[in-house]
Structure 1
Amino acid sequence: MSKTAKPPRFVLLRYLSGALLSRVLLCGAVLVGLLEILALLEQTTPILQRHLGLHGILTYAGMRLPFLLAGALPLSLLIGALVMLTQMTLGSETAILQASGLSITRLYKHLIPATLLVGVMGVVLDDQVTPRSEQALAAWWNRTDPSPENGHSFWFHEGQEVTRVAYVADGGNMLSGLDIYSRDQNGLLQDVIHAARADYTRANGWILHDLKRVQVKENSADRLPQEDQKAWHTSLHPWDFIRLSAENPPLSSGTILGMLRGRLPSDSSPGFLQAGLLERFLRPASLLVLLLIAMPVIYIPPRTGTRSWTPVWCLGAGLLFIIVQGMLRAMGNAGLLPPPVATIPGLLIFTLGAVTVLLRNEAK
């Protein structure tokens, strides 16, 4: 063997990784394509009603792509692993590998690097790409809305202030119907400001218009003279209001940490934010569990071939894992479970179940 030749284990690692990644990417492309079609079937009519034409349809599809891809990755890995392992089993490749001394444990280890690569890609999509694309989509959708007054109101807190906004317009550059409640260090109400609207410009920042103000003292409340306009000293930018006006928008880890530490405004509970952060960085571990769930297909009897129900059972178990993780996460978001309990037990339970199935098949 020449000095430049790679050891056989690296050749096998490269072959298995390439086979898994190619099938995961193919399954991901099919799933994302189907999801894009379903999304466009729902949104094409509103886009055309806004006279955005073909450019609007393509813009919507492009901005929505990272969100759909991140959501399709777990199912893509599950189906891709099932297809690859089933093809290798029916083609007698796994039998040859086992005859050459490759155990089920080593086969799983050879598939870990590709799975972790997919998991890291999912983390990057969830943490950096998707929040930016979804925020840009929400701003574009708001900017092209002919009736922004039909938007829903929302509340948020920033420091000692609690604010209500009736609706957002012009891509976040105009706010309507503001109620700002200022509190002291003890949480007691000090000041109430109602503004008809607020406009943002890069030169002047936020300007409140048509202000009505009530100052609250210990035993009285004084109505102050009405003001036409006043500067609003806030750290928020138009894109922050677009994020706050959206329902459960994707958040980056930096934004979540800023909310938890009180540096950024938030309309979510700490448990919701902690569960989302923990689940995001456990994404590679959840994909490793899905890979483990797909492994029993290597025990398909040669005579059974494509008539075997093993891939179907593995697919069902993987879907059940995804559903259970989603349910636990929802309970964590609602504050019914602590963030670690809402994310980790599902991984452990399905890992133990998959290992039990593999050991039983290995013992036969």
Structure 2
Amino acid sequence: MTEERIAKGPRHVLLRYLSRTLISRTVMCCGILIALMEILALLEQMTPILKRHLGIKGVLTYMGLHLPAMLQTALPLSVLIAGLLMFTQMTISSEIAILRAAGLSPWGFLRKLLPSAILIGLFGCVLEDQITPRSELALASWWNRTNPTPANGKAFWFHVPGGVAQACMGPATGLPPTDSELAHVGYIARSGREAFNVDLYDRSGDGRILRTLHADHAVYSYSGWHLSDIHCVTVSFAELDTTANESTVLDALWKNPFGPNDMLRLSMDAAPLSSGMILDALHGKIATNQTPGYLRAALFERFLRPLALIVMLLLAMPVIYIPPRTGLRSWLPVWCLGAGLLFIIVQGMFRAMGNAGLLPAPVATVPGLIIFALAAGTALLRNEDK
């Protein structure tokens, strides 16, 4: 048993060395990029934090809760820069030449880097799927709770499946409940537990307005949402005439399956969602202001994260062909960095078309990976034949 371990030990020395080097360089690049991003974010948010009298604790809270989202954004570019730094250093110090002389091909070199790239990619998946949605929701809750002027918050629309205020129901109306309701909220307060200037629109199957309701205030409790100061208008359609009946009610129960967390997500520009939440949103179980195309593309992109990082390493690998005497005077690392940035831009363009519904989710996420992987592989083969 001891002899087998000794025999197998040297085989993994290079794997451990390359993995440790790539991961350490990635952590260093992530730290630098996140520090720059945090400084830029604080330049924008420092004034609101100080106006709310949150002090240094508020600054640290904002930085800590926003850290996972920044790490998620910085990870792909960090892997690219880390690969460029590692390959350039190994080329200049003749380590690549020694490995090539020992019989290690570029593809064998890439295979040694795959475990660390997949490990970083899986960490990115967990970060994006589980940590970032929770941290961003906690940040939105804290930001809304400490806002002294919630009336300046963002208004938003959403569909409520089967959501009908009981104030407009009853025998007097002669109208059955609708399958869905369109809701507009002026702003929210107390971490989404209060909503103001609520407008509800019940529509028939052919799109006609059946009821409209305006409530000045809505409060969430364990029994659901309670509306107060309600003004309700019920529309009746006859064969040749349409009439509207107005009524005023002090309070009513709103059959809304969405809670305070859903209100917080709707008030955000682009709330990150976990995979389970995306599937629930596609089935109408949770509220979201994103299109189905956006949700499907986000789900595909999330689980393709390890492949995207492998493509980043492929784009950085042509650096190993820099002549050792040329050293840092070579422009090849700059061209590789430009190719990686172009990959990020092209992926963003495909993703934007997927969000707009112009492309299905697989077409909005996979082609960019294939195109740039083939381009990087072609560059490696051409340099190998020289």
Compute the TM-score of the two structures, normalised by the length of structure 2: 0.90
Which deviates more from structure 2 when the two are superposed, residues 181-190 or residues 42-51? Answer: 181-190
Q: Cα gap change, 1:175/1:221 in structure 2, threshold over 3 Å: closer, same or farther?
A: farther
Matches within 5 A, 1:126-275: 126-159=128-161, 160-185=180-205, 187-202=207-222, 204-219=223-238, 220-275=242-297
> What is the CA-CA distance between 1:2 and the residue it aligns to?
2.5
Q: Cα gap change, 1:221/1:165 in structure 2, threshold over 3 Å: closer, same or farther?
A: farther
Distance 2:244 2:346 in 1: 54
Q: 329, 342, 353: which one pairs with 1:320?
A: 342
| Contact kept? 2:195, 2:217, Cα under 8 Å | yes
Distance 2:14 2:61 in 1: 42
Aligned match of 1:4:
5
Look up the equivalent residue of 1:168 and give its one-letter code: I
Structure 1 gap ranges (5+): none
Q: 285, 298, 322: which one pairs with 2:307?
A: 285
Matches within 5 A, 1:78-89: 78-89=80-91
| Contact kept? 1:23, 1:80, Cα under 8 Å | yes
> What is the CA-CA distance between 1:265 and the residue it aligns to?
2.3
- After superposition, the C-alpha distances for 1:201-257 in whole angstroms (9 at most, x for unaligned) are 34x432100112222333344435321111222211111101001101111111111
Aligned match of 1:122:
124
Distance 1:305 1:285 in 2: 30
- Tell me how many residue pairs correspond in the alignment: 363
Distance 2:301 2:226 in 1: 39
Distance 2:250 2:181 in 1: 22
- Structure number with greater Rg is 2
User: Stretches of 4+ moved more than 4 A in 1?
Assistant: 184-188
Distance 2:346 2:244 in 1: 54
Distance 1:224 1:76 in 2: 60
> What is the CA-CA distance between 1:193 and the residue it aligns to?
1.8
- Could you say what secondary structure the match of 1:163 adopts? strand
Look up the equivalent residue of 1:258 and give its one-letter code: D
Look up the equivalent residue of 2:200 and give its one-letter code: I
| Contact kept? 1:131, 1:251, Cα under 8 Å | yes
Aligned match of 1:42:
44
Look up the equivalent residue of 1:130 and give its one-letter code: T
Compute the TM-score of the two structures, normalised by the length of structure 1: 0.96
Distance 2:237 2:19 in 1: 70
- Kindly report the root-mean-square deviation, in angstroms, between the aligned alpha carbons of the 2 structures: 1.5
Look up the equivalent residue of 2:74 and give its one-letter code: A
Distance 1:337 1:129 in 2: 29
Matches within 5 A, 1:335-354: 335-354=357-376
Aligned match of 1:91:
93
- Could you say what secondary structure the match of 1:335 adopts? coil
| Contact kept? 2:203, 2:210, Cα under 8 Å | yes
| Contact kept? 1:73, 1:122, Cα under 8 Å | yes
Which deviates more from structure 2 when the two are superposed, residues 338-347 or residues 166-175? Answer: 338-347
Q: 15, 27, 30: which one pairs with 1:28?
A: 30
- Could you say what secondary structure the match of 2:237 adopts? coil
> What is the CA-CA distance between 1:4 and the residue it aligns to?
3.1
Distance 1:108 1:273 in 2: 32
Look up the equivalent residue of 1:175 and give its one-letter code: A
**Identity rate, percent:** 55
| Contact kept? 1:158, 1:266, Cα under 8 Å | no
| Contact kept? 1:332, 1:338, Cα under 8 Å | yes
| Contact kept? 2:262, 2:288, Cα under 8 Å | no
Distance 1:221 1:62 in 2: 56
